[in-house]
Structure 1
Amino acid sequence: MFNPISVAGILRAPDSARGGHAEMTLDEKGKVTVRSGGADISRFHVRSLRVPGAGAGGMRPLLLPDGSVFETADAAAVDEIIRRRTVQGTSLWGGLVDAKMHYAVAAVALVAAGAWLAVTMLLPFAARKAAELMPDTVARTVGEETLRSLDQGVFTGSNLDAARRGAVQKRFEKIAAYAGDARKFTLVFRHGNTVGANAFALPDGSIVVTDELVELAENYDEIAAVLAHEAGHVVNRHGMRMVVQDSIITLAVVVLAGDLFSASSLAVALPAVLLKSGYSRDFEREADRYALDYMRSQKIDPARMSAILKRMTEKAGSTGGPSLLSTHPSYEEREEIFKGGAGTK
């Protein structure tokens, strides 16, 4: 912070050789006030001053924004004014920004708040609505292409015997019926290899369950709990909502234009988004709540889900391989959901 400067001199109007006595004051904020005849003649920021060069008779001139010239014999004061002008910059715009800094900070805060609101509330809302309008052909193409990609790089055919597959299929049919439209659900068996014990949902209603998950489960209620969770993703259209949120602008054009050919073509490129990103934690929590409601309706002990989740978490940690659990809430958080639901009907 600078101390104020006050210097006496002569003020000459533009294009005039005549002048009158005046006083120039520079305050600690860089504001310059020129007074003459007991009145304020001019006010501006020090950055707006110009230094035209040495004046006649040892006088030091300063050029004001309106073209007036202030001259003084106090060279030391002029040098200090010039120094302060240099320290604070040379542009009028910089002076205005400095003077309105609190407004700038407020504006930045408002922009940040608006961006936060858009990302956390408006974008998910728009994604939900867009996903509802998305043609079934897009969801089907995304599901098919995603499964094809996994079959080429991750999965191999299932090794489960017919009896075990049949028992799991029977439980799955109850879950599909509970969802209200069993026709859109398909159970797909695969050997997970590096994916290990897992199950996950695709936007077209396909739910993939790995041999490793079936082998890890101690009973079919545990498998049903996991499959109900995946059905929750399908019912809530999490796959398409996630894709929309990642590609909101392009997909909005597709939806508004109603170009099904473009939508189907675009969908071919979307499996990579699904494979790379995984479902958000909010989506996972929503699917957990759906699974809990299903388990209550079937009188399945919610502790079955806690038990299989614990084993899946431990298995994923011991193998060190990739896990589709990585985007889920923590095991402890999910355990609380199902523990809390154990005594609730």
Structure 2
Amino acid sequence: MREPDILEGQFFPPLSSKSQAARLSVTPGTGAPCVSAALADGTTVDGLTVDDLQARDTLHFRGGSSFKADRPLPPEIAARFQGRMRRRIAALEAFSPVKALAMGLALVLCVLFVRAALPLAARGIALALPDRLEQLVGEHTYATLRRIDLSASELPERRRQTLRRRSDALAEAARLTRRPEIVFHRSRIFGANAMALPGGPIIVTDDLVGLLGSDDAVLAVIAHELAHVENRHAMQQVLALAGAAAMASVVLGVDDSLLEELSATLINVWSFNNSRNFEKEADLAALDFLRAGGLDPALFVTAIEKLTSQACADVAEDARARCLAAAGNAGTGWLSTHPGAKERLEYLHRALGG
């Protein structure tokens, strides 16, 4: 018969935080090990049944008593007190080439899911959400922007009403299911810009109207923003980011700050790529909307060229030519939220047949 294993430590009676030194005797058997404790006061506690092993050094017994070993239990002893699920987890944690290969395959599948399945799932969920839910998000965002930056437009009321009326007619001609409100504001932060909030409204800055000049050119940019609202790009991005963050949490865990930072960085890079895809989709849709509304789709290309040139407006005159050349030839970087000017103009000209 095998000699019992002896463990040194502290024994805690049921419902007590007061302990005394003890020697735990663990005798292997055909079933559960036989466990008894010899206490420092000379008494012996026999027939102890282990309910749980915690942190590799603490045994909890049926009835409420416990034993904390002076050092972690040897693996061969700890294994006797682990439940089936805990033993399976321990086996998974042990390294083997097969497990490493399986983990690598799982990571590859996760990457494929994030790149392919997640955007499709986000699109399906976004399109199925009630319109009012998305509009509430847009309304709250708009209220926040008005508090921190947006101020009353200085454009003539008549021109604003004309642009709104023509935007509605464009949405009607393109048979859009969502007709967001068009609002005009001055902005210190956004400059010459237009942006579509989830479910609307679409914000158009005075600087953009001033830069583009004609109402037709402004409508071309509004057509791009209408495409964002129609396809619920903002909600798709939010849902996709939430899914990617959940996936990263499951795969990488959340205990290590370095892994947290790494996963956040990877998610951001992926979201920028997602954003560029949405921008391209909205660009091409804008051309179709303009055609449906009886407007020249080349207006949008001209507007993009003007916005690209605007980036060099504040550059010194002797360096402006170099700035314009660089802006026109700018490629698409990993951290770009929009396609680079060169790529953008190339696919727009292709879509126009030029």
TM-score under structure 2 normalisation?
Answer: 0.55
Q: Does 1:331 align with 2:341?
A: yes
Deviation at 1:158, TM superposition (A): 0.5
Q: Any gaps of 5 or more consecutive residues in structure 2?
A: 1-90, 247-267, 316-334
Deviation at 1:216, TM superposition (A): 0.5
Alpha-carbon separation, structure 2, partners of 1:317 and 1:175: 32
Per-residue CA deviation, residues 88-122 of structure 1 (Å, 9 max, x unaligned), is xxxxx9xx95xx53x45533441232111111112
- Which residue matches 2:30? none
Task: Indicate if the aligned counterparts of 1:242 and 1:279 stay in contact, CA closer than 8 A.
Answer: yes
User: Structure 1's 178 and 248: CA in aligned 2 closer, same or farther, altered over 3 A?
Assistant: farther
Task: Indicate if the aligned counterparts of 2:217 and 2:299 stay in contact, CA closer than 8 A.
Answer: yes
- Which residue matches 1:212? 207
Per-residue CA deviation, residues 107-161 of structure 1 (Å, 9 max, x unaligned), is 3441232111111112111111211222223112101111011111121111101
Q: Does 1:146 align with 2:141?
A: yes
- Which residue matches 1:194? 189
- Which residue matches 1:343? 353
Letter in 1 for 2:194: A
SS in 2 for 1:195: coil
User: Structure 1's 315 and 125: CA in aligned 2 closer, same or farther, altered over 3 A?
Assistant: same
- Once superposed, what is the RMSD of the aligned Cα atoms? 3.3
Q: Which one has the largest radius of gyration? A: 1
Which of 117, 123, 130 does residue 128 from structure 1 map onto? 123
User: Structure 1's 341 and 122: CA in aligned 2 closer, same or farther, altered over 3 A?
Assistant: closer
Alpha-carbon separation, structure 2, partners of 1:224 and 1:204: 19
Alpha-carbon separation, structure 2, partners of 1:177 and 1:241: 24
User: Structure 1's 193 and 247: CA in aligned 2 closer, same or farther, altered over 3 A?
Assistant: same
Letter in 2 for 1:188: V
- Which residue matches 1:291? 286
Deviation at 1:187, TM superposition (A): 0.7
Could you tell which deviates more after superposition, 113-122 or 172-181? 172-181
Which of 235, 258, 271 does residue 230 from structure 2 map onto? 235
Letter in 1 for 2:296: D
Pairs within 5 Å for 1:294-313: 294-313=289-308
Alpha-carbon separation, structure 1, partners of 2:134 and 2:192: 25
Q: Does 1:166 align with 2:176?
A: no
Which of 171, 175, 183 does residue 176 from structure 1 map onto? 171
Letter in 1 for 2:143: R
Alpha-carbon separation, structure 2, partners of 1:204 and 1:220: 23
**Matched-pair identity in %:** 36
SS in 1 for 2:184: strand
Alpha-carbon separation, structure 2, partners of 1:291 and 1:342: 12
Letter in 2 for 1:283: F
Alpha-carbon separation, structure 1, partners of 2:273 and 2:213: 27
Deviation at 1:229, TM superposition (A): 0.5
Size of the aligned set, in residue pairs, is 221
Task: Indicate if the aligned counterparts of 1:301 and 1:342 stay in contact, CA closer than 8 A.
Answer: no
Deviation at 1:326, TM superposition (A): 5.7
Deviation at 1:297, TM superposition (A): 2.6
Task: Indicate if the aligned counterparts of 2:272 and 2:336 stay in contact, CA closer than 8 A.
Answer: no
Higher relative contact order (CA 8 A, sep 6+): 1
Per-residue CA deviation, residues 187-236 of structure 1 (Å, 9 max, x unaligned), is 11111222001111112231111111111113222111111110001111
SS in 1 for 2:115: helix
Pairs within 5 Å for 1:38-187: 97=95, 101=97, 103=98, 106-181=101-176, 184-187=179-182
Deviation at 1:250, TM superposition (A): 11
Letter in 1 for 2:351: G
- Which residue matches 2:84? none
User: Structure 1's 144 and 217: CA in aligned 2 closer, same or farther, altered over 3 A?
Assistant: same
Per-residue CA deviation, residues 54-103 of structure 1 (Å, 9 max, x unaligned), is xxxxxxxxxxxxxxxxxxxxxxxxxxxxxxxxxxxxxxx9xx95xx53x4
Could you tell which deviates more after superposition, 218-227 or 151-160? 218-227
Task: Indicate if the aligned counterparts of 2:192 and 2:208 stay in contact, CA closer than 8 A.
Answer: yes
Alpha-carbon separation, structure 1, partners of 2:116 and 2:337: 20
Deviation at 1:171, TM superposition (A): 2.4
Alpha-carbon separation, structure 2, partners of 1:315 and 1:157: 23
Deviation at 1:165, TM superposition (A): 1.3
Alpha-carbon separation, structure 1, partners of 2:230 and 2:311: 27
User: Structure 1's 311 and 163: CA in aligned 2 closer, same or farther, altered over 3 A?
Assistant: same
Task: Indicate if the aligned counterparts of 1:302 and 1:339 stay in contact, CA closer than 8 A.
Answer: no
Q: Which runs of 4+ in 1 moved over 6 A?
A: 276-279
